[in-house]
Chain A
Amino acid sequence: GESVGLHLPTLSVQEGDNSIINCAYSNSASDYFIWYKQESGKGPQFIIDIRSNMDKRQGQRVTVLLNKTVKHLSLQIAATQPGDSAVYFCAEKAEGDYKLSFGAGTTVTVRA
Protein backbone atom coordinates (compact mmCIF):
# COMPACT_ATOMS: atom_id res chain seq x y z
CA GLY A 1 0.00 0.00 0.00
CA GLU A 2 0.91 3.64 -0.27
CA SER A 3 2.06 5.45 2.85
CA VAL A 4 3.35 8.80 3.85
CA GLY A 5 6.10 8.95 6.45
CA LEU A 6 5.90 12.67 6.85
CA HIS A 7 2.92 14.87 6.19
CA LEU A 8 2.73 15.55 2.46
CA PRO A 9 0.06 17.65 0.82
CA THR A 10 -0.77 15.02 -1.81
CA LEU A 11 -1.01 11.25 -1.96
CA SER A 12 -1.62 9.17 -5.09
CA VAL A 13 -2.76 5.59 -4.48
CA GLN A 14 -3.72 2.69 -6.75
CA GLU A 15 -7.31 1.53 -6.47
CA GLY A 16 -7.49 -1.47 -4.17
CA ASP A 17 -4.29 -0.64 -2.29
CA ASN A 18 -4.19 0.47 1.32
CA SER A 19 -3.33 4.10 2.01
CA ILE A 20 -1.94 5.83 5.07
CA ILE A 21 -2.31 9.54 5.74
CA ASN A 22 -0.16 11.08 8.45
CA CYS A 23 -0.69 14.08 10.65
CA ALA A 24 1.52 15.70 13.28
CA TYR A 25 -0.17 17.69 16.00
CA SER A 26 1.42 20.36 18.14
CA ASN A 27 -0.53 20.59 21.39
CA SER A 28 0.41 18.01 24.02
CA ALA A 29 -2.79 19.00 25.88
CA SER A 30 -5.00 17.77 23.04
CA ASP A 31 -7.31 15.03 24.26
CA TYR A 32 -9.47 14.37 21.22
CA PHE A 33 -8.72 13.91 17.54
CA ILE A 34 -10.91 13.62 14.46
CA TRP A 35 -10.36 12.78 10.82
CA TYR A 36 -12.53 14.51 8.25
CA LYS A 37 -12.94 13.92 4.52
CA GLN A 38 -13.80 16.88 2.31
CA GLU A 39 -14.91 16.44 -1.27
CA SER A 40 -14.87 19.30 -3.72
CA GLY A 41 -17.65 21.80 -3.04
CA LYS A 42 -18.78 20.11 0.17
CA GLY A 43 -18.30 20.53 3.88
CA PRO A 44 -15.99 18.23 5.87
CA GLN A 45 -17.48 14.80 6.54
CA PHE A 46 -16.75 13.02 9.83
CA ILE A 47 -14.78 9.78 9.32
CA ILE A 48 -13.53 8.59 12.68
CA ASP A 49 -12.40 9.98 16.02
CA ILE A 50 -10.17 8.89 18.87
CA ARG A 51 -9.63 10.06 22.43
CA SER A 52 -6.21 10.48 23.95
CA ASN A 53 -6.65 7.50 26.29
CA MET A 54 -6.65 5.20 23.24
CA ASP A 55 -3.96 4.41 20.68
CA LYS A 56 -6.04 2.69 18.03
CA ARG A 57 -9.61 2.73 16.83
CA GLN A 58 -11.18 0.95 13.87
CA GLY A 59 -14.16 1.78 11.72
CA GLN A 60 -15.47 0.54 8.44
CA ARG A 61 -12.36 0.25 6.20
CA VAL A 62 -10.59 2.89 8.29
CA THR A 63 -8.24 2.76 11.27
CA VAL A 64 -6.89 5.68 13.26
CA LEU A 65 -3.62 5.33 15.17
CA LEU A 66 -2.48 7.77 17.83
CA ASN A 67 1.09 8.03 19.09
CA LYS A 68 1.12 10.58 21.90
CA THR A 69 4.84 10.19 22.50
CA VAL A 70 5.71 11.77 19.17
CA LYS A 71 2.38 13.60 18.75
CA HIS A 72 1.49 11.76 15.59
CA LEU A 73 -1.85 10.66 14.18
CA SER A 74 -2.49 8.50 11.15
CA LEU A 75 -5.49 7.37 9.13
CA GLN A 76 -5.32 4.05 7.32
CA ILE A 77 -7.81 3.33 4.56
CA ALA A 78 -8.11 -0.29 3.45
CA ALA A 79 -8.79 -1.24 -0.17
CA THR A 80 -8.91 2.35 -1.38
CA GLN A 81 -11.76 3.10 -3.78
CA PRO A 82 -12.30 5.93 -6.31
CA GLY A 83 -14.87 7.45 -3.94
CA ASP A 84 -12.09 7.93 -1.39
CA SER A 85 -10.55 10.68 -3.55
CA ALA A 86 -10.83 13.84 -1.45
CA VAL A 87 -8.93 16.13 0.90
CA TYR A 88 -8.40 14.60 4.34
CA PHE A 89 -7.97 16.76 7.43
CA CYS A 90 -6.96 15.80 10.93
CA ALA A 91 -8.28 18.00 13.75
CA GLU A 92 -7.44 18.18 17.43
CA LYS A 93 -9.18 19.54 20.49
CA ALA A 94 -7.44 20.52 23.71
CA GLU A 95 -8.83 19.36 27.04
CA GLY A 96 -11.40 21.85 28.30
CA ASP A 97 -11.38 23.71 25.00
CA TYR A 98 -14.26 24.11 22.60
CA LYS A 99 -12.71 24.52 19.21
CA LEU A 100 -11.23 22.11 16.70
CA SER A 101 -7.82 23.00 15.25
CA PHE A 102 -7.32 21.63 11.78
CA GLY A 103 -4.15 20.49 10.03
CA ALA A 104 -3.15 21.48 6.51
CA GLY A 105 -4.92 18.64 4.74
CA THR A 106 -3.78 15.87 2.39
CA THR A 107 -5.27 15.51 -1.08
CA VAL A 108 -5.75 11.83 -1.91
CA THR A 109 -6.11 10.82 -5.55
CA VAL A 110 -7.08 7.23 -6.37
CA ARG A 111 -5.71 5.86 -9.66
CA ALA A 112 -7.88 3.37 -11.54
Chain B
Amino acid sequence: ETGVTQSPTHLIKTRGQQVTLRCSSQSGHNTVSWYQQALGQGPQFIFQYYREEENGRGNFPPRFSGLQFPNYSSELNVNALELDDSALYLCASSSQGIVSYEQYFGPGTRLTVT
Protein backbone atom coordinates (compact mmCIF):
# COMPACT_ATOMS: atom_id res chain seq x y z
CA GLU B 1 0.00 0.00 0.00
CA THR B 2 1.25 3.48 -0.90
CA GLY B 3 -0.44 5.54 1.82
CA VAL B 4 -2.28 7.56 -0.83
CA THR B 5 -6.02 7.50 -0.21
CA GLN B 6 -8.89 8.59 -2.43
CA SER B 7 -12.58 9.08 -1.86
CA PRO B 8 -15.13 8.08 -2.81
CA THR B 9 -14.32 4.65 -4.25
CA HIS B 10 -17.17 4.68 -6.73
CA LEU B 11 -19.52 7.39 -7.92
CA ILE B 12 -22.41 7.57 -10.34
CA LYS B 13 -23.43 10.94 -11.74
CA THR B 14 -25.76 12.22 -14.43
CA ARG B 15 -24.59 14.13 -17.49
CA GLY B 16 -24.40 17.87 -16.74
CA GLN B 17 -23.79 17.42 -13.00
CA GLN B 18 -20.68 18.41 -11.10
CA VAL B 19 -18.39 16.12 -9.09
CA THR B 20 -15.62 16.53 -6.51
CA LEU B 21 -13.04 13.82 -5.93
CA ARG B 22 -10.62 13.84 -3.01
CA CYS B 23 -7.07 12.65 -2.46
CA SER B 24 -4.83 12.49 0.59
CA SER B 25 -1.16 12.29 -0.27
CA GLN B 26 1.40 10.02 1.30
CA SER B 27 3.03 11.38 4.45
CA GLY B 28 5.96 13.62 3.58
CA HIS B 29 4.80 14.21 0.00
CA ASN B 30 4.06 17.77 -1.13
CA THR B 31 3.01 17.26 -4.76
CA VAL B 32 -0.18 15.72 -6.10
CA SER B 33 -0.88 14.79 -9.72
CA TRP B 34 -4.25 13.74 -11.13
CA TYR B 35 -4.73 11.28 -13.97
CA GLN B 36 -7.73 9.99 -15.90
CA GLN B 37 -7.70 6.34 -16.94
CA ALA B 38 -10.30 5.22 -19.45
CA LEU B 39 -11.10 1.52 -19.60
CA GLY B 40 -8.31 -0.45 -21.25
CA GLN B 41 -5.97 2.53 -21.57
CA GLY B 42 -3.04 4.01 -19.70
CA PRO B 43 -3.50 6.95 -17.34
CA GLN B 44 -3.63 10.42 -18.93
CA PHE B 45 -2.21 13.40 -17.04
CA ILE B 46 -4.78 16.02 -16.02
CA PHE B 47 -2.76 18.40 -13.83
CA GLN B 48 -0.34 18.64 -10.93
CA TYR B 49 -0.43 20.70 -7.74
CA TYR B 50 2.58 21.87 -5.77
CA ARG B 51 2.52 24.35 -2.92
CA GLU B 52 -1.23 24.83 -3.44
CA GLU B 53 -0.81 25.99 -7.04
CA GLU B 54 -1.38 24.28 -10.37
CA ASN B 55 2.05 23.33 -11.61
CA GLY B 56 1.23 21.96 -15.03
CA ARG B 57 -1.75 20.80 -17.04
CA GLY B 58 -2.47 18.17 -19.64
CA ASN B 59 -4.90 18.36 -22.54
CA PHE B 60 -8.08 18.69 -20.50
CA PRO B 61 -10.70 21.48 -20.73
CA PRO B 62 -11.15 24.15 -18.04
CA ARG B 63 -14.16 22.36 -16.59
CA PHE B 64 -11.55 20.12 -14.95
CA SER B 65 -10.17 22.09 -12.01
CA GLY B 66 -8.43 21.35 -8.77
CA LEU B 67 -7.25 22.51 -5.40
CA GLN B 68 -4.46 21.65 -3.04
CA PHE B 69 -4.71 22.36 0.68
CA PRO B 70 -2.02 23.29 3.22
CA ASN B 71 -1.87 19.66 4.38
CA TYR B 72 -1.09 18.70 0.73
CA SER B 73 -4.40 16.91 0.19
CA SER B 74 -6.12 17.72 -3.06
CA GLU B 75 -9.48 17.86 -4.82
CA LEU B 76 -10.39 17.34 -8.46
CA ASN B 77 -13.56 19.07 -9.60
CA VAL B 78 -15.30 18.34 -12.88
CA ASN B 79 -18.18 20.54 -14.03
CA ALA B 80 -20.80 19.85 -16.69
CA LEU B 81 -20.09 16.13 -16.73
CA GLU B 82 -20.09 14.35 -20.09
CA LEU B 83 -20.51 10.66 -20.82
CA ASP B 84 -16.85 10.46 -21.89
CA ASP B 85 -15.79 11.57 -18.40
CA SER B 86 -16.59 8.05 -17.21
CA ALA B 87 -13.22 6.68 -16.11
CA LEU B 88 -10.99 5.78 -13.19
CA TYR B 89 -9.54 8.94 -11.67
CA LEU B 90 -6.16 8.46 -10.04
CA CYS B 91 -4.13 10.73 -7.89
CA ALA B 92 -0.43 10.29 -7.36
CA SER B 93 1.73 11.89 -4.72
CA SER B 94 5.43 12.60 -4.79
CA SER B 95 8.04 14.34 -2.66
CA GLN B 96 9.84 16.36 -5.26
CA GLY B 97 9.36 19.99 -6.06
CA ILE B 98 8.66 21.39 -9.50
CA VAL B 99 10.06 18.32 -11.23
CA SER B 100 8.52 15.19 -9.81
CA TYR B 101 10.06 11.80 -10.18
CA GLU B 102 8.68 8.80 -8.33
CA GLN B 103 4.92 9.07 -8.16
CA TYR B 104 2.85 6.80 -5.92
CA PHE B 105 -0.74 6.19 -6.90
CA GLY B 106 -3.87 5.83 -4.85
CA PRO B 107 -6.54 3.20 -5.57
CA GLY B 108 -8.59 5.58 -7.71
CA THR B 109 -12.20 6.74 -7.88
CA ARG B 110 -14.39 5.01 -10.46
CA LEU B 111 -16.71 7.64 -11.95
CA THR B 112 -19.65 6.60 -14.08
CA VAL B 113 -21.61 9.26 -15.94
CA THR B 114 -25.05 8.25 -17.21
**Residues of A that sit less than 8 Å from B by CB:** 32, 34, 36, 41-46, 49, 89, 91, 93, 96-105
**Residues in B whose Cβ lies below 8 Å from that of A46:** 2, 102-105
Contact A100 B45 (CB under 8 A): yes
**Cα of A43 to Cα of B102 in the assembled complex, Å:** 15
B6: nearest chain-A partner, CB-CB: A43
B107: nearest chain-A partner, CB-CB: A43
The interface-forming segment of B14-22, B65-73, B93-101 is B93-101
B residues contacting the other copy or chain, number (CB 8 A): 26
How far does the Cβ of A27 sit from chain B's closest Cβ, in whole Å? Answer: 13
Bitwise, B16-33 to A at CB < 8 A (1) or not (0) is 000000000000000001
**Residues of B that sit less than 8 Å from A by CB:** 2, 4, 33, 35, 41-45, 48, 55-56, 58, 90, 92, 98-108
**Cα of A109 to Cα of B7 in the assembled complex, Å:** 30
Q: A32-B101, A49-B101 are in contact. Are A99 and B45 (CB under 8 A)?
A: yes
**Residues in B whose Cβ lies below 8 Å from that of A93:** 100-101
B35, B56, B103 — most chain A CB neighbours (10 Å): B103
Contact A104 B45 (CB under 8 A): no
Contact B41 A44 (CB under 8 A): no
Q: A43-B90, A44-B90, A98-B48 are in contact. Are A34 and B102 (CB under 8 A)?
A: yes
Could you show 17 A-B contacts with beta carbons less than 8 Å apart? A32-B101, A41-B107, A42-B108, A44-B43, A44-B105, A49-B101, A89-B43, A93-B100, A93-B101, A98-B55, A99-B45, A100-B33, A100-B45, A100-B92, A102-B42, A104-B42, A105-B42
A100, A101, A105 — most chain B CB neighbours (10 Å): A100
**Cα of A98 to Cα of B103 in the assembled complex, Å:** 11
**Cα of A103 to Cα of B40 in the assembled complex, Å:** 11
**Residues in A whose Cβ lies below 8 Å from that of B102:** 34, 46, 49
How far does the Cβ of A16 sit from chain B's closest Cβ, in whole Å? Answer: 28
